[in-house]
Amino acid sequence: MEHVKTIPTDTDQSTASDRVSAGCHREAGRFQIVVEYAPGVFISTASAATVEEAVELFMKQSPGCEAGEINLHDRVEHRVIGSVKWTMEPTENGLRVPHRQNIFCDWNTALLALEVQRRAENESLVELTA
């Protein structure tokens, strides 16, 4: 049986703090969207400096795999402020399909998500009437 390496052997990678101290801009914003692409495999797909932008990106993020997790992290407060819960709902022909439910940990973030959703609906109505 082969031994599986879990630590990358490339030592030329610099950390974010190295880039900041070297005068480069920090790549990740305060808010980060993390998506599960396979069981136990989570990848950061986007980051944002403002909560408004982060919620908008979170709402548009598609799952990486069937019923995969999608989380919105606040990197300053070190907590998850939004996540996706999948429920299975039957269709007219009896098939069960996953249905996305966005869950937010505080009212302000939930209200921002509602505003983003309303804005998207209004934009689609304008496109239909144009």
Q: In this structure, is residue 19 part of a structural domain?
A: no
Q: In this structure, is residue 53 part of a structural domain?
A: yes
Question: How many Å is the Cα radius of gyration of the chain?
Answer: 19
Phi–psi pair at 13, nearest 5 degrees:
-75, 135
Q: In this structure, is residue 22 part of a structural domain?
A: no
Query: How many domains does the structure of the chain reveal?
Result: 1
In angstroms, the Cα distances linking 17 to 31, 46, 47, 74 are 17, 19, 17, 18
Query: How much is the pLDDT for 27?
Result: 59
Q: In this structure, is residue 76 part of a structural domain?
A: yes
Q: What is the DSSP string of 59-84?
A: HHPPPSSTT--EEEEETTTTEEEEEE
Alpha carbons 49 and 47: distance in angstroms, whole number = 7
Please state the length of the chain: 130
Per-residue pLDDT tens for 74-124? 999 999 999 999 998 998 998 998 899 999 999 999 999 999 999 988 888
The encoded tokens of residue 65 equal 């795999």
Would you call 42 exposed, middle or buried from its count of C-beta atoms within 10 A (0-12, 13-18, 19+)?
middle
**H or E, element range at 1:** none
pTM flag (> 0.85): no
Q: In this structure, is residue 113 part of a structural domain?
A: yes
Give me the mean pLDDT over the 42-50 stretch: 95
Q: Is the pLDDT of residue 23 over 50?
A: no
User: Which amino acid, 104?
Assistant: F
Q: Is the pLDDT of residue 128 over 50?
A: yes
